Amino acid sequence: MKLFVIAAVLAVAAAAPSSYKPEYKAPSYPAPSYPAPKYPAPAYPAPAYPAPAYPAPAYPAPAYPTPSYNKDNKYADITITSQSDERNLDGSSQWSYAQSDYTTREESQVQKKMQGVTYDSYGKESYGEVLGNTNKGSSYWKLSNGRGRLPCR
């Protein structure tokens, strides 16, 4: 009986449709052949005139006048006696200058973290730390009567 069951299972398996499919091969077709056109290709005549030859433009070099300085300047004797400009990697900086008439100017800048408003790419407002600059400086100059200096802070 066992033999009969095994033979029946093998007979059913052999009769059942197989899921195996052979690999698909695309059909091959011959290349199409087209008849030659019945009209001749157009022949265009060469232009009757040559292209014009333009000479290269000859521009003279511009003659700029020599700069002349006003020698009658009433402040001609005032010169800068010292100056400095320092920029630091942390965002701070300081600069100053002094003139021969005792006019001076100095300024320093420090970058600080502060509480401020920031906006994201959608325009939404949020509060947090932002970087800002604080400046501090002073200026001194001579009075018009030539006596003393006046501080300005």
Q: Is residue 109 part of a domain?
A: yes
In this prediction, residue 129 carries a pLDDT of 85
pLDDT along the chain (153 residues), means of 10: 74 66 82 82 80 80 72 70 90 89 88 84 86 84 66 55
Cα–Cα distance for residue pair 105/151, rounded to 1 Å: 10
Residue 122 within a domain: yes
pLDDT digits (tens, 9 = 90+) for 19-55: 667 788 888 888 888 888 788 777 888 778 877 788 8
Residue numbers of the domain that contains 129: 80-153
Tokens standing for residue 47: 């232009």
The reported pTM is 0.39
Domains contained in the chain, number: 1
